Amino acid sequence: MPDRGEMTETFIAQIGWEDALRTNLAGDASARRYERLRLGEKFAILMDSPPGAADDPADFVRVAEHLRRIGLQAPEIYFADLQ
């Protein structure tokens, strides 16, 4: 199984946030992991959800996009790697 830490580093570099200050956030009851990213005056939250977990990240992306399309507030997803 690929190393999640290395995969996260690669993903962050691919989206141009490799110089971001990274802070771990408290987890929830799932297998997901969260980090706060700060790059200058820009902020983002990184969510890492390993494959095989109960929550499919593709569902999260679809719901967020749908809510935003109909004018409701939902997290804006800047980048996603659903593979």
pLDDT digit string, tens, across residues 36-68 = 999 999 999 998 887 777 778 888 899 999 999
pLDDT, position 51:
73
Buried b (16+ CB within 10 A) or exposed e, 4-28: eeeebeebbeebebeebeeeeeeee
pTM of the entire predicted model: 0.79
Q: How confident is the model at residue 1 (pLDDT cuts 50, 70, 90)?
A: low
